[in-house]
Chains A and B, each alone.
Chain A
Amino acid sequence: MNLKDILTPFTAWSRVVKDPVTIKDPLSREGAPRYRGFHDNDVETCIGCGTCEAICENEAIDLVPVEGIETKDGDSGLRPKIDYGRCCWCALCVDICTTNSLRLTNEFKWVDTDPDNFRFIPGVDEKDWYKKEEGWRKPEPNYHFYPQERVKMEELGPEERGDSFIEFVKGYSKEQAQQEADRCVECGICIGTCPAHMGIPEYIKAVRNDDMEEGLKILYETNPLPEICGRICTHKCETVCSVGVNGDPLSIRWLKRYIADQVPAEQYHEILDTKKIYKDDKKVAIIGAGPAGLSAAYYLSLLGHNVTIFEKLDKPGGMMRYGIPEYRLPYDQIDKDVNYILSLGVELKTNTTVDEEMFKKLQKDYDAVFVSTGLHLGRSTRIPGSDHEHVFQSIDLLRKITAGEEIMVPEKIVVIGGGNVAMDITRSLARLQRAKYGKVQIITTSLESEEEMPADREEVVEAREEGATIDPGWGPKEIEIVDGKIKGLHVVKVLSVFDEDHRFNPKFDENQKKFFEGDMIVESIGQAPDLSYIPKEIDEQLERGPRGRYLISEYNQTSVEWLFAGGDIVVGPDVIHGIADGHKAAVGIDNYLNSKK
């Protein structure tokens, strides 16, 4: 202790002349550009997936309906509502937001006397901080709460697959499947869009937990053809997948296939608990063993009814067998699903064509009839020359290929059509061409432009990989025939396919022309049903809706109460819609039969 110790502290007086550090107007001070202040939500981009709610550790977020936001495919119509009596401003909700619509602004002052006011729907309820551009957004770079990229599916290369009909998509291994299933955020947006309303998040969870039995049970709740659907479903679910908004959508279809592939057919009865099924005395006839018919048969027999399926061709499966080439859907997989359905006591009569007379007999012998005969007549373009014998319908060709019949495979082929069937026939013919000539010379053209083509994107890419030329955006004009032989197809440029009202109304530019050389033309522009077997007196009683389709109730009941209709003839060509129809019809038939007692 000395004098120095007493005097030194007084050096602090030197600070007296310094400028004060006080902030003059603290109330108007802004937060930092990255500050985590109050929430804002871009309600237009938000799809109401509820991932923010799932990750919130404080249960601060509710999803509530908002006026003016409609529920539609890919948008639940709900929006997050945040309780500032819970929030801790950790911004995990922002970081996980699948659409990047949620953000935090750098506003932070909210004083109120009523504690009940601290709840609001960001972006909907008027708050003055939305105009602030700064604030917390999802960090960059490479900062993701779930993997953005899909696990790559192993496929045979175009060279290997191009000359054979063996299945080229290998399917996921266990690790791959679990890795892919891990990407799911369990929002459930897909369920509403899936025509069969499959419990997608639940079976993906089963994949994650490696519980295949549980997975199979969930699949069969809504879909009795998982092997088939797991391969060729049009996967509308994947188009609305919230993970796909910023990143690759989940490969829901492959995961479904993974579950079905893992379980051997012998275990189905045990897992699904269908060893013994009670049967009552009700009889139901199903016409057509396609997806809708099989699905209806499955659920009807589970409900205890006696089901008989009448099939015109010699094997069940309908369009799935005769319309889809084997490299996409191997026949043994169809058999796996179909055999299980048949093993539940479903009677199948193949090679049985139902005509008017037979139909009347069915009406007499059975309590209810379900028609699901599908679309087996190809539509024609009706351009000059389309009646030539070497102009084929893709449906007929595919059926013949499946049946193993010889078909004409010339060196040069032109296919008209831009849908999945067009791709199927293109790729099938390409394989046959390669087998026959060692090279592929096939041109596929469609009215729709590259972007509008209804075919799945990967189908187009794969067809190109296999050597086919896809040249979309051309309208067929005339088939040039010289000496009774087809020389090729004249086309003109299409300007637009649909008008403002989204109706089919193509416009052409006659000056831009092209000529596709080919010895054979395949038309694949759509299919039509053949309902000639329905007797006239019944047909008259049936009400019809737009496009001449039968009008049905929500349970697929037609205006004739014992007659149910479903599948492609009612909803248009799609496997999963057919399955969903079969399920609904089964419920409807069951209700009808029970009400009749």
Chain B
Amino acid sequence: MINKFLGFEPDESKLPSKRAKIGAEIDLSSQKYQKIWLGPNHPGVTGNMAMELWVEGNTVVKAKTHVGYLHRGFEKLIERRLYVQGFPTSIRMCVAEPDTNEYLIATCTEQLSGYDKEVPEMAKWLRMLSLEMARLQGLLRGVPGQGGTFALGLGVQWGVYLRDLILDRFEELTGGRVYHMYIIPGGVRGLLPDGFKARLEDNLKEIDDFIVRIKKLMFHNAVFKKRAIGLGVITPEMVDKYGIVGTTARASGVKRDVRKDDPYLYYDQLDFDPPTDTDGDVYARTWVRWQELIQTVDLLRQIMAKMPEKGDIRANMPNVLHWRIPKGETYVRLESGRGEYGMYYVTDGSDKPRRVNLRGPSYTHGVALLEDMLVGADVADVHALMVSLQTCPPEIER
């Protein structure tokens, strides 16, 4: 076939192979296999994505991830927005933990324009606070959500309620419930309201209680154990091969945490140790996330104790309407609840970015890894595997 955009047919004979195939060749006409689609209209999938599954009986023999249902073309849209305008747009790239996007786009622009040194101390602490709160609300959905995939709905009921309390705190701090739009290039958009710390502490106490309850409910649950242990094992060798990051990698015994490896903000001033496990199965991943839940609560307490009371919230920056950033490129990463979350940012000296490219953990987890991992799995476990990899489709297609 002549490529429309190349205008010629590439000479494939000079290449080592014809187009390599991924996955098994399945002959559906043999009547031995059946093809089923999971999603996009399916309550169990994580977000609006689809899995195309070839099954033999109950066993998946081949899987394909289909994304694009949530594609909005952020990277294109941000290319035609001013630097400050890009930040409300970028937030929508991941609804589960939007603050991470805010932080990335703010930090990229600050680094390239040389204002990263001028971000006030108070603003950095507030950024940390909002990032950890975002992680907490993500985990409050994610940890019981894993139980939800095995039809354990009670934990979800608890978790979503507690997440809502954190969203209430977010609302007080940032003015937004889900999309906070709080971390702006140069700083943040507000100090802590009066009495915020006390109210957050109250919520954290409730979450402490929840952590114990969910442990009894899920991790000491015969059904959960039976189904999750040994399911979807990721070996340490697979981690680099597939680009696995975050809690998923840590559950396989590979200790990767951007907060420790490449400390940003004031994470080097906090006392914490990323939890790990060695089994690498769904149970281990959930267990690591549960431990991380404890750790996040602890981190929030540490941040509240260490942060100053008052201070400037934004650096003195040029007029946002004409803000130009000299030509340059950078990659900024942070540790989101799902793992390494990064942004490649290229500027060309104009008032708009040349290219913004997001690297979400789901990009590798949700396509290459998930497709390989589903082979041999039971159809009933597909959701559990998807949730355990924390796939978030908007991160893949953006």
Q: Is there a direct interface between A and B, measured as CB atoms under 8 Å apart in the complex?
A: yes
- Quick check: B85 and A36 within 8 Å, CB to CB? no
Counting CB contacts under 8 A, is B22 at the interface?
no
Set of chain A residues within 8 Å of B89, measured between Cβ atoms: 57
Q: Which residue of B lies closest to A56 (CB)?
A: B85
**Known interface pairs A32-B172, A35-B175, A143-B189. Does A5 touch B221 (Cβ–Cβ under 8 Å)?**
yes
24 pairs, A vs B, C-beta closer than 8 Å:
A5-B221, A5-B222, A5-B225, A32-B168, A33-B172, A34-B171, A34-B175, A34-B190, A55-B84, A55-B321, A57-B82, A57-B86, A57-B89, A89-B179, A90-B181, A91-B175, A91-B181, A96-B321, A104-B175, A139-B190, A142-B313, A143-B314, A144-B316, A146-B320
Question: In the complex, which residues 250-271 of chain B have their Cβ closer than 8 Å to any Cβ of chain A?
Answer: none
Nearest-neighbour CB distance to chain B for A151, whole angstroms, equals 12
The CA of A4 and the CA of B220, in the complex, are separated in Å by 7
Contact B171 A5 (CB under 8 A): no
> Which of the segments A7-15, A227-235, A272-280, A389-397 contacts the partner chain?
A7-15
The answer on a CB contact under 8 Å between A12 and B216 is: yes
Contact residues of B between 173 and 204, Cβ < 8 Å to A? 173-176, 179, 181, 187, 189-191, 193
Complex Cα gap A69–B172 (Å): 36
**A529 at interface, CB cutoff 8 A:** no
CB proximity of A170 to chain B, nearest CB, Å: 23
Q: Does B319 touch A at the CB level, under 8 Å?
A: yes
| Contact of A139 with B189 in the complex, beta carbons under 8 Å | yes
Which listed residue, B86, B175, B176, B217, touches A12 by the CB 8 Å rule?
A: B217
Hey, what's the 0/1 contact readout for A208-247 against B, CB within 8 Å counting as 1? Answer: 1000000000000000000000000000000000000000
User: A125-145 CB contact bits vs B (8 Å, 1 = yes)?
Assistant: 000000000001001111111
A104 to B220, CA, bound (A): 48
**Please, how many angstroms separate the alpha-carbon atoms of A121 and B81 in the complex?**
25
**A104 CA / B81 CA spacing, docked (Å):** 23
Please, which residue of chain B has its CB at the minimum distance from the CB of A135?
B175
Please, how many angstroms separate the alpha-carbon atoms of A57 and B89 in the complex? 8
> Are B85 and A55 in contact, with the CB atoms below 8 A?
yes
Cβ-closest 9 pairs across A and B? A57-B85, A90-B88, A146-B319, A8-B220, A5-B222, A32-B171, A36-B175, A34-B175, A32-B172
A141 with B313, Cβ < 8 A, contacts A35-B171, A146-B319 known = yes
In residues 3-52 of chain A, which contact B (Cβ within 8 Å)? 4-6, 8-9, 11-12, 15, 21, 31-36, 51
Q: Indicate which residue in A5, A139, A145, A184 contacts B84 across the interface (CB closer than 8 Å).
A: A145
Contacts A9-B221, A32-B175; A147 near B316 (Cβ below 8 A): yes
Q: B320 contacts A55, CB within 8 Å?
A: yes
> What are the interface flags for B241-255 relative to A under an 8 Å C-beta threshold, 1 for contact and 0 otherwise?
000000000000000
Check A147 against B222 for contact (C-beta < 8 Å): no
Quick check: is A185 within 8 A (CB to CB) of the other chain? yes
**Do the beta carbons of B319 and A147 come within 8 Å of each other?**
yes
CA gap between A55 and B86 in the complex, in Å: 11
Nearest chain B CB to A342's CB is how many angstroms away?
Answer: 38
Q: Which listed residue (B175, B218, B321) contacts A54, Cβ 8 A?
A: B321
Knowing A8-B216, A90-B181, the reply to whether A36 touches B84 (Cβ < 8 A) is no
- Kindly provide the distance from the CB of A106 to the nearest chain B CB, expressed in whole angstroms: 9
A403 within 8 A of B: no
Q: Chain B residues near A5: list those with CB within 8 A.
A: 220-222, 225
Whether A12 lies near B213 (C-beta < 8 A) is yes
Question: Taking beta carbons and an 8 Å cutoff, which residues of A are in contact with B?
Answer: 1, 4-6, 8-9, 11-12, 15, 21, 31-36, 51, 54-55, 57, 88-92, 95-96, 104, 136, 139-147, 179, 182-186, 208
Q: How many A-B residue pairs have CB under 8 A?
A: 119
CB closest chain-A residue, reference B319 = A146
Residue in A21, A36, A51 whose beta carbon sits within 8 Å of that of B176 in the complex: A36
Q: At the interface, yes or no: B7 with Cβ under 8 Å from chain A? A: no
**CB of A148, distance to nearest CB on chain B (Å):** 10
With A and B bound together, what is the CA distance between A139 and B221 in angstroms?
48
A141 to B190, CA, bound (A): 8
With A32-B168, A57-B85, A182-B318 known as contacts, the answer to whether A143 contacts B216 (CB < 8 A) is no
Inside 8 A of A144's CB, which chain B residues have their CB?
314, 316
In the bound assembly, the distance between CA atoms of A104 and B190 in angstroms comes to 15
CB closest chain-A residue, reference B312: A142
Interface size class of B (residues with CB under 8 A): 35 or more
Inter-chain pairs besides A12-B213, A35-B175, A146-B319, 16 sampled, C-beta below 8 Å: A8-B217, A8-B220, A9-B218, A12-B216, A34-B172, A36-B175, A54-B321, A89-B179, A91-B175, A139-B189, A140-B191, A141-B191, A145-B84, A145-B321, A146-B320, A147-B316
Q: Which residues of A contact B151 (CB under 8 A)?
A: none
Query: CA–CA, A136 to B182, complex, Å?
Result: 12
Q: Chain A residues with Cβ under 8 A from B321's Cβ?
A: 51, 54-55, 96, 145-146, 185-186
CB-CB nearest in chain A for B229: A1
* Shortest Cβ distance from residue A240 to the other chain B in the assembled complex, whole angstroms: 19
A147/B318 contact (C-beta < 8 A), A6-B222, A92-B88 known: yes
Instruction: Select A57's contact among B88, B175, B216, beta carbons within 8 Å.
Output: B88
B272 beta carbon closer than 8 Å to chain A: no
A9:B217 contact, CB within 8 angstroms: yes
- Tell me the complex Cα distance, A143–B221, Å: 51
B90-110 contact mask (Cβ, 8 Å, vs A): 1 or 0 = 000000000000000000000
Rounded to whole Å, the gap between the CB of A247 and the closest CB of chain B is 12
Please determine whether A95 and B216 come into contact, CB atoms closer than 8 angstroms.
no
Cβ contact within 8 Å between B171 and A31: yes
A186–B161 Cα distance when bound, in Å, is 47
Q: Give Cα A390–Cα B374 distance, bound, in whole angstroms.
A: 106
Q: Tell me, rounded to whole Å, the shortest Cβ–Cβ distance linking B175 to chain A.
A: 4
Over the window 283-301 of chain B, the binary record of Cβ atoms lying under 8 Å from chain A Cβ atoms (1 yes, 0 no) is 0000000000000000000
Bound complex: CA of A322 vs CA of B189, how far in Å? 54
Residues from chain B with Cβ under 8 Å of A35 in the complex: 171, 175-176
CA of A146 to CA of B217, assembled, Å? 53
Complex-state Cα separation, A418 to B313, whole angstroms: 45
Q: Are B319 and A185 in contact (CB under 8 A)?
A: yes
Quote the shortest CB–CB distance from A251 to chain B (angstroms): 15
Q: B323's closest neighbor in chain A, by CB?
A: A182
User: Does chain A have a CB within 8 A of B28?
Assistant: no
B143 → A minimal CB distance (Å):
15
